[in-house]
Amino acid sequence: MKKTPIFYKLNGIAIAATFILTSCNLAASTQAPASATATLAPVSSPVAPTASMPPTAIATATSVPTATATAAPTATSAPTVTSQLNAQLAPSDNANCRKGPGTGYYIVTYLQQGNVYNVIGRNSLNTWWLVQASANVTCWIGDAGATQMGPVNQATIVPVQPLPATPATFVDTYTCNTTLHNLTVVFNWSAVSYVTGYRLFRNGTQITDLPPTTTSFSDTNAPRGVSLVYALEAHNDYGAAAQITVSVPSCD
C-alpha cells in the first residue's frame, strides 16, 4: 500500500476542518447580542401584512404621545391698598347732641369729650354735623371747637325738619280789679308755620300748652302784688322757636 495518497487525504481533511471552524467563529463574532441592540418599530405607520405572516403576528404600532408644553402662570400684581380716613369729630367738651342743626332743636343725648364719632352728614354752612352717637342714635352737634378728622366738610348735606318761627306779635291787655282783688291778662299773637302748639310761661313757669290753631289766651288767675313776665313759645316735634315776651306790672 502506498503512503503518499493517505497523507494527502489527511491533509485535506484538516484544511476543511480549519475552514469550517474559522467560518463559525466569524459568524459568531459578527452577531450582536440580543440584549444589546433595540429595534425600534416605525412610528409613522403599522407594519403592512404579508402573505407569509398570519394576521395575529402583525404588531400594531402605537403612536408615541406628544408632550404638550404648559405655559407658566403669569405673575399677578398685588392690589393697591388705599387708606381713606373716615370723617370723624371729637367734641372739645361734653356736648349736647340735638335733633337738628341749631340750639332750638331738642337734645337727644350727650357726647363725651375725648370720644370720636363718625360724621354722616352736615348742614349747608358747615357749622353743624350729623354724627352717629351710638348704634341706633344719630344727632347733630355744633361744637365750633371740636376736632375734625378726615373729609368732614365733604359729608352729605342732610335736610331737616324746620322749626317754627317766633311769632311776630305778642301783645297783652290786662285788667287789675282792686275791688274784686283779681288780675286778668289777655294775650294775642300772630300764627306761624311748622307749629304743633304754643306754650305760655309766666315768670318762667309754663301755665298752658295750646293747639296750633290758637292765637289768644286769657290768664284769669294771674297773681297780684308782683310784676309778671309772660313768654310765648311756638314748638313742634323737633324743637321750639325763640320765645317772645311781654311784661305786666304788679296789681296791688
Residue 28 three-state SS: helix
Low-confidence winner among 107-111, 174-178, 190-194 (lowest mean pLDDT): 174-178
In this structure, are 181 and 229 located in the same domain? yes
Let me know if 55 is exposed, middle or buried by CB neighbors in 10 A (0-12, 13-18, 19+).
exposed
Overall number of domains in the chain: 2
Residue 9 resides in a domain: no
Query: What does the alpha-carbon distance between residue 93 and residue 95 come to, in Å, rounded to a whole number?
Result: 6
Residue 114 resides in a domain: yes
Query: What does the alpha-carbon distance between residue 246 and residue 252 come to, in Å, rounded to a whole number?
Result: 19
Amino acid 193: pLDDT? 96
pLDDT in tens, 20-59: 544 444 444 444 444 434 444 444 444 444 444 444 444 4
Residue 59 resides in a domain: no
The residues, any chain, with a CB within 8 Å of residue 154's CB and separated by 6 or more, are 87
Share of the chain above pLDDT 70, in %: 67
pLDDT in tens, 56-73: 444 444 444 555 555 555
Q: Domain of 102: which CATH number?
A: 2.30.30.40
